[in-house]
Structure 1
Amino acid sequence: MGKRTLILAFESSCDETSVAVIENGATILSNVVATQIKSHQRFGGVVPEVASRHHIEQVTWCLNAAMQEAHVTYDDLTAVAVTYGPGLVGALLVGVAAAKAVAFAHHLPLIPVNHMAGHIYAARFAGRIKFPALALLVSGGHTELVWLEEEGSFVIIGDTRDDAAGEAYDKVGRVLGVAYPAGKELDMMAHQGCDTFNFPRAMLQEDNLDFSFSGLKSAFINTVHHADQVGEQLSRDDLAASFQQAVVDILVTKTTRALHQYPATRQLILAGGVAANTGLRSQLTAAMQAFPQVELLQAPLQLCGDNAAMIGAAGTMLYRHGVRAGLDLNADPALEFPYLDEIEG
């Protein structure tokens, strides 16, 4: 048996400080996550300066805990992987600085990982990724369809024109008085209600793979505000159900359209924070009955949010492909995959 690949991974792109040790890209030896949700709840969203300070306080503790839990020493490690973008610049810098310090001190290769590649590779813990694959990536900051022609290749074929789906959930949650992050509670409420409001499904008729959620969000807010003004009592569960059904319809319709346009697809990967949504999972699973040749690979529920295990999985793949960074690696808050028209153009 060959020498095992042990990757120490750092993730600090937003409001979770996480360090993990991953064996051979598919086995989690440790995945320590220090969440900051309670610190940001009173503000109704993530405050970048507060997030950065928490990362500084937590990163060394997470590193020590991850190494202890994995029962490994620095001499055992193969390389260090770190999220260098996209995300909040101050938050990213903490993880990048910590990863560079470990890599320098212990003479280890440094692997730069795109946070979105990490989300896709969270699915690696549910099964092997088969190419060519299509990924539906739905999170607080991103909603995009990504074409993976081969390992290490990521091309955006559809993107949101405005709000990401997770962002819309948080804004709608605020209107309903649901604490940040709102996704999980709105999902639970949606299962108690009915789609009685029939909110708009933007861009469904347009012949592209792009998304839009700002009109849906505005329609929701206007409906609630109007009811408040005239003293009408609306069902919060029905509001949640109507909003969620609109989001899921948009996501599933565009994804199935992409599968028709990319008939070579062997696997559909569902990943990102909103991938934990039970309404989305069940409706997408049902829609996949029309594509028996395509396997649905869903990121494990506990790995849909930000975590370092997914960065370790993506980092292992990049390590195999010879991707390395120097100690001059910097945070890139606006990092993104290339777009299809950029490549074709």
Structure 2
Amino acid sequence: MLGIESSCDETAAAVVEDGTRLLATSLVSSAAIQAQYGGVVPEVAAREHAMAILPVVDWVLKEAGLDLADIDAVAVTQGPGLLGSLLVGVTFAKTLGASLHVPVIGVHHLEAHLYANALMAPIEFPALALLVSGGHTSLFYWQGHRDLRLLGETQDDAAGEAFDKAARILHMTYPGGPQIERLARQARKKSFKLPVADMHGRLDFSFSGVKTATAALYREHPDEPEEVAYALQEAVVRALVQTVKRALARYPVGDLYLAGGVTANEAIREAFLHLGAELGIRIHIPPVSYCTDNAAMVASLGYYQWQAGETMGAFEGPKVLFPLGQREGE
């Protein structure tokens, strides 16, 4: 399975066998270019994808020791994401699939993040799955391949969005998450505590308030940015852990899977490993290199969709808005 990822500012390709064995992977990021603008400029991202996609695919095939004729199917991120970026990847994948006479599978970018875990070991069902990324924070009851039930999601800002916006408040560059984490490591007093939203027992999230509270705290303590960053990170971790702990009480499963770029954060990883030890459940977190956008996860999910007979139609294209999972109880 050849996987292609181009949903935002990273162009990636990978070759995965049987949904679990990674043969080769490569990625080219335009983050350094986007940092000049303080965030991702869609037109710039699309242009960079168009220039990078063919060399990236060519490299992974050579690294895997394969020719195009060895590819059985092509999996590509269909959405959600930036329209121009998605269009480059989907157009390339469909053109390649047509020329090779192989099926093309359009995958959901967020669901693909969960399948970074499948590259480590087979997924154990049923399980809970927490997806924490720059634009999404969602919690699922994962009953089987292609069977996700949405338990809760952010009602405003995602966790990663809170980090990015707080980084701008603290006069740091894009992307904000790694910057907040590095600054938080320098905190010594760790005496500030920021509030997290009370969701009244629901399994949803809200990070808009903590972002506003971060701005207020920084105005009061402009000479202690590292303490402010630590307080923000601690509040985000606390909100995630509290909600997942509440979900585990209602859905007593033995496995919890984490995924998404924000799960590269060391404090989040440590907090959930501690939670697993406390509750006696298995915590699965991909290596940091697989937490952020990559094509191996796309190829892995694509394999399971291919096995289920799910392929893109001739007239299907990118899906900027692409819901994932039916809400539990609906």
Superposed pair shares fold, TM > 0.5: yes
Structure 1 residue 257 and structure 2 residue 261: aligned? Answer: no
> Contact 1:203 / 1:210 at 8 angstroms: preserved in 2?
no
- The Cα of 1:317 is off from its aligned counterpart by 1.3
Structure 1 residue 200 and structure 2 residue 187: aligned? Answer: no
- The Cα of 1:117 is off from its aligned counterpart by 1.1
| Residue 191 (structure 1) aligns with | 185
Distance 1:256 1:321 in 2: 33
CA-to-aligned-CA distance 1:284-311 (integer Å, 9 cap, x gap): 111112321x311111110111010110
Q: May I ask how many residue pairs the two structures share in their alignment? A: 329
Q: CA RMSD in A?
A: 1.3
% identical equivalent positions: 39
Give 3-state SS (helix, strand or coil) of 2:12's partner.
strand
- The Cα of 1:262 is off from its aligned counterpart by 0.6
| Residue 277 (structure 1) aligns with | 265
Structure 1 residue 319 and structure 2 residue 280: aligned? Answer: no
Name the aligned partner's letter for residue 336 of structure 1: P
Distance 2:96 2:309 in 1: 19
| Residue 98 (structure 2) aligns with | 104
Distance 1:203 1:330 in 2: 39
| Residue 220 (structure 1) aligns with | 214
Which runs of 5 or more structure 2 residues have no equivalent in the other structure?
none
| Residue 235 (structure 1) aligns with | 224
Which runs of 5 or more structure 1 residues have no equivalent in the other structure?
1-6
Give 3-state SS (helix, strand or coil) of 1:55's partner.
helix
CA-to-aligned-CA distance 1:90-141 (integer Å, 9 cap, x gap): 1101100000011000000111100011100011122221001111100001
Distance 2:272 2:118 in 1: 19
Distance 1:103 1:203 in 2: 48
| Residue 291 (structure 1) aligns with | 279
CA-to-aligned-CA distance 1:182-219 (integer Å, 9 cap, x gap): 21221122122143221111125x11100000000011
Name the aligned partner's letter for residue 236 of structure 1: P
Distance 2:164 2:325 in 1: 27
Distance 1:115 1:137 in 2: 11
Give 3-state SS (helix, strand or coil) of 2:141's partner.
strand
Give 3-state SS (helix, strand or coil) of 1:149's partner.
strand
Distance 2:53 2:198 in 1: 42
2:293 alignment partner, one of 296, 306, 309: 306
Structure 1 residue 23 and structure 2 residue 17: aligned? Answer: yes
Relative to the length of structure 2, the TM-score reads 0.96
The verdict on how the C-alpha distance between 1:152 and 1:233 changes in structure 2, with shifts beyond 3 A counting, is closer
Distance 2:138 2:223 in 1: 32
Name the aligned partner's letter for residue 93 of structure 2: A
1:244 alignment partner, one of 233, 240, 255: 233
| Residue 75 (structure 1) aligns with | 69
Name the aligned partner's letter for residue 36 of structure 1: S
Relative to the length of structure 1, the TM-score reads 0.92
> Contact 1:96 / 1:329 at 8 angstroms: preserved in 2?
no
